[in-house]
Amino acid sequence: MAQYAMRANIVEHSLEVMNVALAIIDNLKSDVQTNRDLVIAATLLHDITKTRSLETRENHALSGGTLLRELGFTSTAEIVEQHVIMRDINLGGRLEEREIVYYADKRVRHTVIVTLEERVADLIDRYGTTEAIRTQILQNKQQALLVEQKIAGFLKGDMHQQKGQSLEFPSLAKRGKGRFNR
């Protein structure tokens, strides 16, 4: 992170995305297999080229993936490339690490845990300069809702989301992070 001069707020964002991802992993039903180390690596590195992209306007998801692939981290690269928009979604398949990272990132605005609704409103606010971009953000929201449903199906009973609400993370709430039951 230091080598690529990540801004402190992006490092903090990445750490909180990791916390959300781990809260999900820690609450999975006991028979769900997932690569925890891969999720940790991908959450910490998902915005590795974001700082640079603020200047270059490059697509930081793709360039982050390219960078990690060059460094030999192929599995992490695959996930980072898809952290903004997933290439596809297999609703009936196993819970994939890329889905956990993609979803966790959608629940952290800067360093605050928010609902999907709030995150999408923020994205439209910051990036929704044209109708085409706004449409794309809303399409991505639909994908995020599907991923949320999929993840919910793999979580232990007490973690199931309340109707119409985002997933909740009691372990993070206890630390006073994030806002819940909204």
CB closer to Fe ion, 47 vs 148: 47
Q: What minimum distance in Å lies between the beta carbon of 12 and Fe ion?
A: 13
CB closer to Fe ion, 105 vs 168: 105
Residues 53-72 binding Fe ion (CB under 5 A) are none
Stretch that binds Fe ion, among 19-27, 47-55, 93-101, 129-137 (CB under 5 A): 47-55
The residue number whose beta carbon is nearest to Fe ion equals: 47
Applying CB under 5 A, which of residues 16, 43, 47, 97 lies at the interface with Fe ion?
47
Q: Is 81 in the site for Fe ion (CB under 5 A)?
A: no
CB closer to Fe ion, 47 vs 97: 47
CB closer to Fe ion, 47 vs 78: 47
3-state secondary structure the chain: CCCCCCCHHHHHHHHHHHHHHHHHHHCECCCCCCCHHHHHHHHHHCCCCHHHHHHHCCCHHHHHHHHHHHCCCHHHHHHHHCCCCCCCCCCCCCCCHHHHHHHHHHCEECCEECCHHHHHHHHHHHHCCCHHHHHHHHHHHHHHHHHHHHHHHHECHHHCCCCCCCCCCHHHHHCCCCCCCC
CB closer to Fe ion, 106 vs 150: 106
Cβ–Cβ < 8 Å for 16, 175: no
- Residue 131 CA to residue 128 CA, distance in Å, equals 7
If binding means CB under 5 A, how many residues of this protein chain bind Fe ion? 1
Q: What minimum distance in Å lies between the beta carbon of 106 and Fe ion?
A: 10
Lookup: tokens for 22: 């781990």
Q: What minimum distance in Å lies between the beta carbon of 46 and Fe ion?
A: 6
Q: What minimum distance in Å lies between the beta carbon of 6 and Fe ion?
A: 11
Residues forming contacts to Fe ion in the complex (CB under 5 A) are 47
